[in-house]
Amino acid sequence: MIMEKDISVLEETINRLNFRFEALQKITQLINLASNFEQVLDEVMRLTIELVNAQAGVVILIDQTTGELSSHITIGGRPREELGEEPKWKLNKGVMGAILKVGEPAIISDASEYPIFRDELSKAIRCTVINALCVPLKRKGETLGVLEVFNKKLSTEESKEGDKGVAPFTAEDQKLIVSLSNEIVMVIENAMLFNERERKVVELDNLLKATEAIASAMQLDPLLDTIMERGMKVMDAEGCSVLLVDEKEKKLQFVAASGAKKEEVKKLSLNMGEGVAGWVAQNDQPLLIDDVSKDDRFSKKIDETLTQKTKSLICVPLKVKERTIGVMEVMNKRGDRTFTERDMVLFKPLSAQAAVAIERAKLYEDLEDMYISTVKSLAAAIDAKDPYTRGHSERVTRFAMLIAKELGLDDKTQRDVQLCGLLHDVGKIGVPISVLRKKDKLTDEDWKHIRRHPVLGAEIISPIAQLKELIPNIRHHHERYDGKGYPDKLKGEDIPLISRILAVADTFDALTSERPYRSGLADKAALEEMEVVKGTQLDPACVEVFVTGYRKGFIMREE
């Protein structure tokens, strides 16, 4: 006997199957949103809430590496801005703990029994949680999280005007969500994976850009600034500092710290083993510290001096070919977060790059320094042939650089002035000592020798390709502004600027030095004398800035 009832049961089954199929299709559609994780969670919840006609819902996920819980609440049809703070879910406590432990779905008919529902969650969704349906999200037996919906709405027939009551969640509701839970897990996991990959791309891209910026810096100081700036950006940190090993002093010298003045920073150092940085350098191991106040290794001294407050930090050794040249640290992850192992993984290649670049910049500066020192030493040896000109080239260089600075010349020209200052009298190699040391009046022959030294100096440096441009500066440093100098009787602006600068510096040193034939003038008298020859012997502009600079106290007489 076929009954009407049978037919209606079958028809109801067909309706339910169609509904389920559509629900599944809707969930599957969410794959399209994969690139926006938050939106995927929101849509998953909105759909679930709709399927069982609930008021609100939450998806709580367990971080598979840290075990931490994160949640995402959705209230059907209401914007996220209206939500309160998410409750602090605990993995092993309360109702959440129970569901995760048992791993089975549950209908909770009286939510007021559970403080987290009654208090925290009710506050978050701005509405009292009365009942709940909880379904664990599993993949291959492993629980990844829980999906919970709250307060099933009364159907139109059940609800009366002004009724604030809720209906109970049914076994059918539970069955429906469980039947879709596999797909929900997949959609969420897919979005997580995507999110993860996307984050990796952003991280690598930041790292690559940092590496490019680091590779471009040649000099140490701008390099350190770049390293700090990029270090903070890549690591999303509030601060960054770099310390280098001082081999001689067996110390860790601060060379850069974000937010602090260079001069202050350079006064700071740690002993090997002292503080976190000292520990890292001594043990040659990276450190990740969540809260430095709980770590005995942390030394407060640095925070106090730099008036900063370190909470969490990552500190790694800077290594070049197995040799530790210093340490680099970032501190306080922005947004009040702490650093994770993942940050450490990111920090290592960055610090490796920084180490290589620092070593490179130091090598370059060392070579530059060696160049200047060598020229200085040889110039000093030439000066020393004549006891009256001992230290002459170095002093002239100092005076000339002051003039160059006061004239506002660019860095490259200032460097040229320095080299020319050191090399201007190199031609004296060829002047006999007897002439240089002569106390009697010089003969014409002696004068010939002396007057040859600028030409000889220019000749000596002429084979050095990199100094080609400087040759005229040396050749003409004994020209006079009025055209009565030597070797070429150049006049005024025809004399190269650097030669005019050297002439002023040279004259001041000559006037203030002992000579075989007279004693040296006091600085003040020398300056007066120079005012007199301003415009005849010397370039007036150069004399003026020199005198101004002298008055400002820029010239420290070491003698």
Does residue 273 interact with its own copies by CB under 8 A? no
102 or 367: CB nearest its own copies = 367
Tokens encoding 299: 């030394």
The answer to whether 396 and 506 have CB atoms below 8 angstroms apart is yes
The answer to whether 471 and 447 have CB atoms below 8 angstroms apart is no
The answer to whether 265 and 244 have CB atoms below 8 angstroms apart is no
| Among the listed residues 391, 430, 487, 549, the single contact to its own copies using CB under 8 A | 430
278 or 454: CB nearest its own copies = 454
Does residue 39 interact with its own copies by CB under 8 A? no
Size of site (CB under 8 A) for its own copies: 83
Side-chain-side CA neighbours of residue 219 (13 Å) = 5
Q: Which stretch binds its own copies (CB under 8 A): 25-33, 305-313, 326-334, 499-507?
A: 25-33
Q: Where are the alpha helices (DSSP H) in 63-144?
A: 94-102, 115, 122-125
Does residue 467 interact with its own copies by CB under 8 A? yes
Does residue 464 interact with its own copies by CB under 8 A? yes
The answer to whether 394 and 376 have CB atoms below 8 angstroms apart is yes
Closest CA to 243 of 211, 219, 276: 276
| Among the listed residues 102, 208, 345, 525, the single contact to its own copies using CB under 8 A | 208
Taking the complex as a whole, the smallest distance from the CB of residue 344 to its own copies amounts, in Å, to 17
183 or 274: CB nearest its own copies = 183
| Among the listed residues 38, 63, 291, 368, the single contact to its own copies using CB under 8 A | 368
Residues of span 385-424 touching its own copies by CB under 8 A: 385
Does residue 115 interact with its own copies by CB under 8 A? no
Report how far residue 375's alpha carbon sits from residue 389's, in angstroms, rounded to the nearest whole number: 16
φ and ψ at 340, to 5 degrees? Answer: -120, 175
The answer to whether 316 and 329 have CB atoms below 8 angstroms apart is yes
> For its own copies, what does the binding mask look like between residues 210 and 229, x meaning CB under 8 A?
-xx-xxx-x-----------
The string of DSSP letters for 412-449 reads HHHHHHHHHHHHTTGGGGGS-HHHHT--SPPPHHHHHH
Taking the complex as a whole, the smallest distance from the CB of residue 28 to its own copies amounts, in Å, to 5
Residues of span 300-359 touching its own copies by CB under 8 A: 349, 352-353, 356-357
| Among the listed residues 40, 47, 129, 207, the single contact to its own copies using CB under 8 A | 207
| Among the listed residues 41, 47, 187, 543, the single contact to its own copies using CB under 8 A | 187
Q: Which stretch binds its own copies (CB under 8 A): 143-151, 326-334, 427-435, 534-542?
A: 427-435
Does residue 17 interact with its own copies by CB under 8 A? yes
Closest CA to 189 of 137, 135, 148: 137
Does residue 13 interact with its own copies by CB under 8 A? yes
The answer to whether 49 and 56 have CB atoms below 8 angstroms apart is yes
206 or 299: CB nearest its own copies = 206
